[in-house]
Chain A
Amino acid sequence: AQSVTQLDSHVSVSEGTPVLLRCNYSSSYSPSLFWYVQHPNKGLQLLLKYTSAATLVKGINGFEAEFKKSETSFHLTKPSAHMSDAAEYFCVVSDRGGATNKLIFGTGTLLAVQP
């Protein structure tokens, strides 16, 4: 079975400071891992995904995440937060080796960016 744990339900940073959103995963198969962003009352936008190529994945809007198998982690980072980054972020796992290929969502981290 697959699962993801987002360690922080809320993160608050000041504009211009680094962002770190933490995610740990559990998977019986070789996982695919994703980070999605959701702005209020909007759908989800894919930030980045890991599917077994490079362990450091670069996404849109300056975000990146590093797959660390030894730590079963896939933390999302950004060097400098912008006000527009304020949103809900979801870490997602999918079992590439499994039959269903379902996406399993973490509980989300709400990122607040202070001026």
Chain B
Amino acid sequence: GAVVSQHPSWVICKSGTSVKIECRSLDFQATTMFWYRQFPKKSLMLMATSNEGSKATYEQGVEKDKFLINHASLTLSTLTVTSAHPEDSSFYICSARDTIKATFFGQGTRLTVV
């Protein structure tokens, strides 16, 4: 089946630094990718929808300057957490949608900001 690879699977960074998370569709083209955030023991909250070659659409309450999303190709989207703070610590998951609108999820990235 289709595979979505997320990298890194976990990262620890210092407060104030920026962290980039990659989401790649390995065997299909994804015109749309989604970024989710999952708090401990909570559901997934959609942060933004990323369309290849255009600006991402952010959900209400998500700071676009804080969470920079780039979708430069049909197989890669990146999420950059800028000037990270401990409250940004979370599990971030991406998903990618193929041309027949099937959605596949990455394995997630555990971000810890110290």
B43 interface contact, C-beta 8 A: yes
The CA-CA distance from A69 to B112 in the complex, in Å, is: 42
Assess whether A102 is in contact with B46, with CB atoms less than 8 Å apart: yes
Assess whether A100 is in contact with B49, with CB atoms less than 8 Å apart: yes
> How many B residues touch the partner, as a band?
20 to 34
A56 interface contact, C-beta 8 A: no
A83 interface contact, C-beta 8 A: no
B-side binding surface: helix, strand, loop or mixed? Answer: strand
Assess whether B44 is in contact with A90, with CB atoms less than 8 Å apart: yes
Query: Which residues in B have their C-beta under 8 angstroms from that of A36?
Result: 105
Query: Which residues in B have their C-beta under 8 angstroms from that of A110?
Result: 41
Assess whether A103 is in contact with B34, with CB atoms less than 8 Å apart: yes
A106 interface contact, C-beta 8 A: yes
Query: Which residues in A have their C-beta under 8 angstroms from that of B110?
Result: 41
Q: Map CB proximity to B onto A66-99 as digits: 1 under 8 Å, 0 otherwise.
A: 0000000000000000000000001000000000
Assess whether B107 is in contact with A42, with CB atoms less than 8 Å apart: yes
B38 to chain A, nearest CB (A): 9
The CA-CA distance from A45 to B105 in the complex, in Å, is: 7
Query: Assuming A44-B93, A90-B43, is B49 touching A103 (CB within 8 A)?
Result: no
**Residue of chain B at shortest CB distance from A108:** B43
Interface residues in B40-84 (C-beta closer than 8 Å to A): 41-46, 49
Assess whether B43 is in contact with A106, with CB atoms less than 8 Å apart: yes
Query: Assuming A100-B49, A102-B49, A103-B103, is B108 touching A43 (CB within 8 A)?
Result: yes
- Which one, B44, B101, B106, B107, contacts A105 given CB within 8 A? B44
Write the residues of chain A forming the contact surface with B, with a CB cutoff of 8 angstroms: 36, 41-45, 90, 100-108, 110
Known: A43-B106, A44-B44, A106-B43. 6 other contacts (CB 8 A): A41-B91, A45-B105, A103-B103, A104-B46, A108-B43, A110-B41
Write the residues of chain B forming the contact surface with A, with a CB cutoff of 8 angstroms: 6, 34, 36, 41-46, 49, 91, 93, 95, 97, 101, 103, 105-108, 110
* 5 sampled A-B residue pairs with Cβ under 8 A: A41-B91, A41-B108, A101-B101, A102-B34, A104-B46
